[in-house]
Amino acid sequence: MSSNKRRKLNAEPETKSLSAFAARQQRKLATAAGAAVGAAEAVLEGHGPDELNGAALRVVVLGEYRLAVRKGRATLLGATLSPESTRLGVDVYAPSSHSLPVIRYLESEDNEVVISLGQLKSGLRPLKKLSPLFSRLWNESATVLDGDVGSDERNSFQILFSTADGPRKIPLHKVYSPPEWNETFAAVSSGKWNRESISSTMICGPKSSGKSTFAKLLVNRLLTLPPPPKSRSKRPAGVLLLDLDPGQPEYSPPGQLSLVHLLKPNFGPPYTHPDADSGGCTVIRAHSVCAISPSADSDHYMACVSDLLNHYRHYITSHAECSLIINTPGWILGTGLELLIELIKKAKPTVVIYMSTEGPVDVVKSLREEARQTPAIELPSQISEYTTRTAAQLRIMQTMSYFHLNRMDTTAPWNWSPLTSMPPWMVKYSGPGSGILGVMCIGEQPAPQFLHDAINGSVVAVVVIDDELALRSPQEGEAENGDGLSSDISPMVTANTANGHLPYLEPGPNGYPDPKHSHSIGFALVRGISTTSNSLQLLTAIPHKTIRELAISEKSIVLVSGKLETPGWAYTEELHQKAVVALNRRKKEIGGLVDDGESDEERKREREKREEEERVRRVEEEEGEKKKGILGLGMGWL
């Protein structure tokens, strides 16, 4: 580090507009010995009250960073962190689309905690060049630590002393855990409600009541508990998460239910880990309901839930020390309440958490009556604040993040090229070497001659058929010979479309593949259909290893279309990228800084944004039904 930079780092910070605590914290950050450019070290001392936030000292950071505890202990999103657990650092994602996590110190012998915040360039930020939804999420206005205005490098995070320190016109909120939540965390962690050494916590409640936040905090706390005194293993056994909310899943794109085994805490919103591999967890079983709500097909939903519970019971025989957390949808009225009651019957949780103290009264009464001997705890909802992204926009971001996962390069988790520039998988759908058994539609059944148009340009679930019983009706599945072997019954009727002979699996009485004999491995975007080569052009984030293992096992694959949201974002990525490039070029010409955050030409940019949205709308109308050609070299399933 040059002497000039060192002088800037050691300069006395401006404290005029800061509170006493904020000024003290800023001085400590600026004078941290040996601090490097692009990194910061905060020393939190437990002397005196925190003038801003009460008795406990805390740090709020905007951006993405790698955190390590050098001395003492700290908590973050429910997890207790120590020098041992953060030796390699933990990656934290704190965008403005969600409440910001708070780093709090825990008292130690000398009442001192030292934490280190390092740079983290995950590769997620460049997605803002493809979609405005990924813009203004981070600390775009923050420059490098030494303050050089002309530097090309930017700090990946920014320590906030007040909401005014963040980007302008962006509402910032911190994660808040009410005392009632903390008491419940402590009770679950201590095994207060365990039944025969089994801990199973079901979280339910209205929409936007904080179910996902509560589940994340609880999971993180359980994962960082010290091992029991009699345990031989120094590593945690992990936590099982049964994610039953298809509209807001934690470790998959929207539309999927899953049972996952978690071994490390979660320090980011869902779109920072849109699948199990990116989230550092193991999927035990997953099913796609091809919809964002159980209301699309409640029978299919409960069939998937029943199978996941069966796999949990089998899995727990060898992982009895793992606690189970069940997160449910926010549909609590009418049929939604009936599903919740049925779920309590099937799951038999050791405690039911209802995330509202304001009813509805009949819902709470029904849940208590069904729970009977099981404790049913009512907790206050998460305080609802204005957010920068709607639920629908967050689903788009999660799906987009999933399809941009980079499976070819471990150093860059995301590929920020438009999907139109990515080579698709070329999957034959008929003839020798066919890669799929066929296509099935859940819900509305298009006529065979319209199947081509129905799935082209849409997102479909990739379902593995474990047994041919998955494609039989219940009556056919029950027909057996005297020796217990299935009789020779053909699967569901397969119809070939007139347009390219695309195999069409017409659902039987169930209307979906039987979850007991099938499972989902991910999603694919049908980029195009070639009738000349009888092949589908698919874009997917399914790991290559998984596809190869399926080919070796010779299990069949079915593409399932349902009521997933149309991926309009995929059609406009290239257009938005060109608009951003053109805007940056104009800003350079007039001498402005290239920054997707605030600028002096904000009004002009807002006008250009509206014009761009209008162009996007026209493109979607004109290009929505067109087939997408192949750009670059295609690859087969293997």
Label residue 406 by pLDDT band (50, 70, 90): confident
Report the 3 state secondary structure along 513-552: CCHHHEEEEEEEEEEEEECCCCEEEEEECCCHHHHHHHHH
Residue 145 has pLDDT above 50, yes or no: no
Return the higher-pLDDT residue of 377 and 625: 377
pLDDT on residue 43: 38
First to last CA, the chain: 49
**Residue 217 to residue 76: CA distance in whole angstroms:** 9
Q: With b meaning 16 or more CB within 10 Å and e meaning fewer, what string describes 322-349? A: bbbbbbbbbbbeeebbebbbebbeebeb
- Cβ atoms of 596 and 135 closer than 8 Å: yes
pLDDT on residue 39: 36
Structure tokens at 50: 């925190």
- Cβ atoms of 432 and 142 closer than 8 Å: no
Residue 144 has pLDDT above 70, yes or no: no
* Topology of the domain comprising 179-378: Rossmann fold (3.40.50)
Phi, psi of 414 (to 5 degrees): -120, 145
**201-234: pLDDT as tens digits:** 999 999 989 999 999 999 999 999 987 665 555 5
**286-334: pLDDT as tens digits:** 999 999 999 989 999 999 999 999 999 999 998 888 999 999 999 999 9
**323-363: pLDDT as tens digits:** 999 999 999 999 999 999 999 999 999 999 999 998 899 99
Range(s) within the chain of domains with CATH label 3.40.50.300? 179-378
pLDDT on residue 585: 85
**569-595: pLDDT as tens digits:** 999 999 999 998 888 888 787 865 555
Label residue 616 by pLDDT band (50, 70, 90): low
Mean pLDDT value across residues 588-615? 56
pLDDT on residue 21: 44
pTM, two decimal places: 0.82
**150-159: pLDDT as tens digits:** 333 578 899 9
pLDDT on residue 7: 25
